[in-house]
Amino acid sequence: MAMALNLLMLGPPGAGKGTQAERFARTRGIPKISTGDILREAVHAGTDLGNRAKAVMDRGELVSDDIMIGIVEERLGRDDARSGFVLDGFPRTVPQAVALDRIMAGRDPLIVVDISVPERELVRRLASRMICADCGANGAPGEILCCRCGGQLVQRTDDNDAVVLERLRIYNTSTRPIVDFYRTRSTFRAINGAQPPDTVAAALAAAIEAAGNGNGRMRGGRR
Ligand code: AMP
């Protein structure tokens, strides 16, 4: 059997991880697993998890490692993730990255792609980012309704100026260190996210192919 394409997208908030993850997962027919989406759905549904996570998310802080690791372990254990997945928004701390290695033991290797974008560009993007109030999809620039379900586009409650700066601060202190955690692996690649989405998508596909080939056979890659 071909190796599973287990892709991890790293990058600061606003780098375009979610958009690129969704696009890539759709073209390859593998699930996109976004911990931010899972939490927002829980908030929307008013579950216990959602009620506990909401205040933390609205402050731009991180939900606890224990909760997040439990969510991801359960999700990666489902059948649809066996032939591959795109993970977006996890890990965000070194303990989460260590736990992910444990969860992935015995499975095909992770391909790790870091999308980098200068901070002033991130602030600009986050201030103008819109999502659908009903389904949570990213809104297209300039549109007022969701192109997926027709719902109203709104600003994320954690995309206002003060919270954006806090999220970038937390990214720099807690999440950036995991780039170094992965950087020395043969399956690590970095790409420039400060380009048009189609260009980033092409760079992502090329990086994945190169990382996969560096690591033997990979679904869709050359030998
Ligand atoms: P995102 O959509 O990835 O920007 O995530 C939105 C918010 O959900 C974050 O600002 C955190 O509060 C929370 N969150 C998402 N993923 C994680 C994670 N892996 N660890 C801790 N908190 C997370």
- For residue 61, the ligand 1 atom closest to its alpha carbon is 12
Known catalytic residue: 167? yes
Known catalytic residue: 189? no
Q: Which residue has the higher pLDDT, 172 or 218?
A: 172
Known catalytic residue: 92? yes
Identified catalytic residue from 23, 32, 54, 167: 167
Question: In the prediction, which pLDDT does 162 show?
Answer: 84
Question: In the prediction, which pLDDT does 1 show?
Answer: 63
Residue 152 Cα to ligand 1 midpoint, Å, equals 23
Contact 168 CB / ligand 1 (< 6 Å): no
CATH node for 5-213: 3.40.50.300
In three state form, how does the secondary structure of 138-202 look? ECCCCCCECCCCCCEEECCCCCCHHHHHHHHHHHHHHHCHHHHHHHCCCCEEEEECCCCHHHHHH
Q: Judge whether residue 81 has pLDDT over 70.
A: yes
Identified catalytic residue from 40, 92, 125, 189: 92
Alpha carbon distances (Å) from 103 to 37, 40, 92, 219? 21, 24, 15, 21
Question: In the prediction, which pLDDT does 222 show?
Answer: 41
Q: What is the pTM of this model?
A: 0.88
- CB count, 10 Å around CB of 24? 21
Q: pLDDT digits over 10-68, tens only?
A: 999 999 999 999 999 999 999 999 999 999 999 999 999 999 999 999 999 999 999 99
